[in-house]
Copies of this chain bind each other. A is one copy, B any other.
Amino acid sequence: MITLTSDFGSPYPAAMKGVIRRHTDAELIDIAHDLPRGDPRAAAFWLRFVLPEFPPAVHCAVVDPGVGTGRDAIVVRAGSHVLVAPDNGLAMPPARALATDDADIEIWTIAVDDPASETFHGRDVFAPTAARIRAALDESTDGTSGAADSEAVADALDAMDDLEPASDPVDLVFPEPSVERDDDGDAAVIDGEVLAIDRFGNVITNVPGELVRGRDWIRVDGDLTPVAETFGAVGPGDRLVTVGSHGYAECDVNDGRGDGAFDLRPGDSVRFVADNVSL
């Protein structure tokens, strides 16, 4: 299996699939091709959420604002999974979610003849590399790729001519919120950050859901906001804080867009304060 992720829209990913079909008949599964444009951080967030659901696979992920600037193309082994991506950090958060620990992650650079060419790297670099890796893995494991253990995957990648160990790959780490607790040990002031906005305008923060769940109200950047388990708990157009399926606190609007109502963008700071705390 090869999964495909990009911010290309259509029909560009189809060109990548055509190239892959010249190398292998492996199943192709689209993760998303409408990710926020040129935002490796959003791609990292969503891939960390989705890829751990999959059995071992090759994941080709291209959100690449640096195309044409000489950035490297990399291959990351995380356990029995392989990611093929530009070297801008997007592969690292999902890799850590897929690997048992940091020692279970290895990174190679893909040798590209003219790394700064103006070609379509998704089609000309990432897709064929993913296809060749898939074919190599299937050959080394007699096609039972799902059962490949991480050692077999590592050996197959080591044997590939155009991969060499990466010397200084770019990392991307999501920030942790800072939490001040009150006398009872409850979270009272939480300084978090916006990780991503989904296509419905829901503002996904880095604040773990357990810090807000169970409250009735919380202040978001000063404004008292209901905390609810479902959108329907507030009226249409009303704001709420809820916990998404990724486990993080979200700033949302029922039947509306949270990014507009809360005036929040990816990377913005956001402060949650327990409603009984005076500031």
Interface size bucket, A side? 35 or more
> B14–A31 contact, CB under 8 A?
yes
Interface centre among A28, A37, A49, A245 (most CB of B within 10 A): A245
Q: Which residue of B lies closest to A53 (CB)?
A: B18
Residues of B within 8 A of A28 (CB): 29
Contact for A229 among B49, B118, B243, CB less than 8 A: B118
- Stoichiometry, as copies per complex, reads 3
Known contacts A11-B46, A14-B30: A123-B1 contact under CB 8 Å: no
Given A53-B123, A245-B123, A1:B14 Cβ within 8 A: no
Contact between A32 and B46, CB atoms less than 8 A apart = no
Instruction: Render A1-18 as a binary contact track against B, CB cut-off 8 A, 1 for contact.
Output: 101010001111011111
Is A267 interfacial (CB-CB < 8 Å)?
no
Chain B hits for A49, CB < 8 A: 11, 15
Cβ-neighbour of A14 out of B32, B65, B118 (below 8 A): B32
* A17 and B46 contact, CB distance less than 8 A: no
A55 CB contacts on chain B under 8 angstroms: 18, 21-22
List the B side residues contacting A18 at CB < 8 Å: 50-55
Cβ-defined contact, A34 with B10, below 8 A: yes
Considering only residues 38-58 of chain A, those with a C-beta below 8 Å from chain B are 46, 49-55
By a beta-carbon cutoff of 8 Å, the part of chain A in contact with chain B is 1, 3, 5, 9-12, 14-19, 21-22, 28-35, 37, 46, 49-55, 65, 67-69, 118-120, 123, 198-200, 229-230, 232, 243, 245
Question: 23 interchain pairs (CB within 8 A)?
Answer: A9-B200, A10-B30, A10-B35, A10-B199, A11-B31, A11-B46, A11-B49, A14-B31, A14-B32, A14-B50, A15-B50, A17-B53, A18-B53, A18-B54, A18-B55, A22-B53, A37-B200, A65-B232, A67-B230, A68-B230, A69-B232, A118-B245, A123-B245
